[in-house]
Structure 1
Amino acid sequence: MKLLLLTLTVLLLLSQLTPGGTQRCWNLHGRCRHRCSKKERVYVYCVNSKMCCVKPRYQPKGRLWPF
């Protein structure tokens, strides 16, 4: 009985300690969020209608489509 209680306690703690993490976007350089931090910019939108917050150094330079 003590082993069962210990096992349940450990599983409960592990489920609380594991990071929830956010969905990754833009070749795994960005994160899908409702708000971007000061050092990030929005370049595209995620499938779940959140903004893909990417640091400027990972965004492509110049235009996407040459006109």
Structure 2
Amino acid sequence: MKFLLLTLAVLLLMSQLIPGDTQRCWNLLGKCRHRCSKKDSVYVYCTNGKMCCVKPKYQPKPKPSWLF
């Protein structure tokens, strides 16, 4: 019985200490962070002031300037 209570206490403590997933942005393809990794780039900013880190393959392609 003590082992069961100890296990439950440890699981409860771990659920409080392990951070959850970050806030999602850019149609759920990006993550709001203070810093982006080398693979990600900033396209927009989140509502909480953090950068929305999005992989370049999910960012819209810029239109050529010669098209109207």
Give me the TM-score of the superposition, normalised by structure 2: 0.72
Q: CA RMSD in A?
A: 2.5
Alpha carbons of 1:45 and 1:11: their partners in 2 closer, same or farther (altered >3 Å)? same
The aligned residue for residue 36 of structure 1 is 36
1:21 aligns to what SS in structure 2? coil
1:49 aligns to what SS in structure 2? coil
Q: Write the deviation string for residues 27-62 of structure 1: whole angstroms up to 9, x where unpaired.
A: 111000011001111000000000000000000011
The aligned residue for residue 13 of structure 2 is 12
CA distance in 1, matches of 2:41, 2:10: 41
Q: Which runs of 5+ in 2 are unaligned?
A: none
Moved over 2 A (4+): 1-13, 16-19
Give me the TM-score of the superposition, normalised by structure 1: 0.73
Do structure 1's residue 26 and structure 2's residue 26 form an aligned pair?
yes
The aligned residue for residue 54 of structure 1 is 54
CA distance in 1, matches of 2:11, 2:57: 41
